[in-house]
Amino acid sequence: SYSFCTLLANPPPTMRRVFPRLQKAAILDIDGVFIRGKVNIEGSGAALKKLTSKGIPWVMLTNGSGTETRKAESVSKIIGCEVPAEKVIVSHTPLREMEDLKEKRILISGTKTGVDAIRSYGFRNAVWSEDHMHEFPKDTPHKWRAGRVPDANRDSSLSKPCPDTPFSAVFVVGEPMDWHSELQVITDALLTDPETKNRSPSQTVPLYWFNDDILFAGDHPHPRLAGGAFFECINAVYKAITESKTDLKVSRYGKPHPVQYEFALRELRKQNPSISEVYCVGDNLLSDVRGANKSGDIFKSVLVLSGVTDAKRCKEAKGELVPSMTFPTISSFVDEYLCKDPTNRTITVFTGPNCPLCEEGISSLEDVVHDLGLSSTLDINIQSISDLPEEESNKHRLRIPVFTLDGKELCYGKVSPGDLKFQLQKAVCPE
């Protein structure tokens, strides 16, 4: 809710509602926003430099895995702009706060860089699935076909597994290289009771998943399969071998889950504790837009069309997949909206005495301005028609409330919040 200026007990017929200036911040996706594969998206580096120069707090939030330092170095090199490691949040970064599991024996599926990151958080008893497969080759016989043998001299990530100690949890922190073998090892872990060490007919070990994206934007002209696709595989295999109609029980991290945005907000407030409006920029309707839209009013979803979502798919979006605003690129969003010179526009609402419909319209307008993230760029002017010249007053008398933007009429009379939002968005926000 907003704190409006204090008014007299008997307010004058004309008054201005002034919204407080909000401290803006940004949560920025990486793939499809700043880069595609190993190629810079034009203007993205300059956009990031502008955010920094304007003092707008930001973090990068990706569903990728690996160490934050390595991701920051990689992105910095591609876009030609320094990205500090402490401003990068990958899918599993919130594990830093998961103290209750750090002493447990955890199976980690994903790339070696992802495992290195998990270990750096303090999970000393974690075991990389690749190490497990080399140590116990009979668990994954298909991996060792065609003359392949376990490599005792490989670059082992963690200490050797212990065959007598079942796993207490499974973390899937990235897309594994060998899906078939990973399916086998993960399924074994989920169906082995940590207490009795016996095979169970159903899941006994918790599963943590850190990337729900089905697709991502890379070098290929069409989107490629991501971690969410691997979950669909393992869930189908689990239901088939247990003859169950029930899906795996899974704790999900990464976008679009609110836990990821709540963590990102805590990180942003380390830069500025007064943050009150966060623009979440991404290219994916299912993860970026949905995640921002369902994580709280402080988050505003911004879709850019430089990644997996094109204009056609954007127009077909419904419900929680509808972005608050859409731009071609991160550069256009920063230049044309977030860092645009703050020249305020004015919405005038023409009202009359004893008009409940007018009060209802003003209340709806305030909510719509907030929802669209326009509180810092729009002023609301309440104008009583009794204070107008007779000709203009008569023009509005049978139509109040009448809404205008910088003198141009938007709508009038009984207007639903949805219609009011549509008219204002069309007038103020880019298509």
* Integer Cα distance of 238 and 65 in angstroms: 24
How confident is the model at residue 151, as a pLDDT? 61
> What Å distances lie between residue 357 and 17, 346, 413, CA to CA?
18, 21, 8
* Integer Cα distance of 27 and 275 in angstroms: 12
Mean pLDDT of the chain: 86
Q: Is 317 exposed, middle or buried (0-12, 13-18, 19+ CB in 10 A)?
A: middle
Confidence check: pLDDT of 158 > 60: no
Confidence check: pLDDT of 66 > 90: no
How confident is the model at residue 374, as a pLDDT? 80
Instruction: Specify the amino acid at residue 319.
Output: G
Confidence check: pLDDT of 296 > 90: yes
What would you report as the CA-atom Rg of the chain, rounded to the nearest whole angstrom?
A: 27
- If you average pLDDT over residues 257-272, what whole number do you get? 96
Supply the DSSP string of 348-382, one letter for each residue: EEEE-TT-HHHHHHHHHHHHHHHHTT-TTTEEEEE
How confident is the model at residue 371, as a pLDDT? 83
Helix, strand, coil percentages for the chain (3-state, nearest 5) = 40, 20, 45
> Over the stretch 72-127, which tens digit does the pLDDT of each residue have?
999 999 999 999 999 999 999 999 999 999 999 999 998 888 888 999 999 988 99
> What Å distances lie between residue 382 and 12, 318, 344, 409, CA to CA?
10, 33, 16, 14
> Over the stretch 302-356, which tens digit does the pLDDT of each residue have?
999 999 999 899 889 999 999 999 999 999 999 988 987 666 788 889 999 889 9
How confident is the model at residue 159, as a pLDDT? 54
Confidence check: pLDDT of 33 > 90: yes
- If you average pLDDT over residues 364-374, what whole number do you get? 86
Confidence check: pLDDT of 196 > 50: yes
How confident is the model at residue 146, as a pLDDT? 59
Beta-strand relationship, 24-28 and 277-282: parallel
Q: Which of 63-72, 73-82, 389-398 has the highest mean pLDDT?
A: 73-82
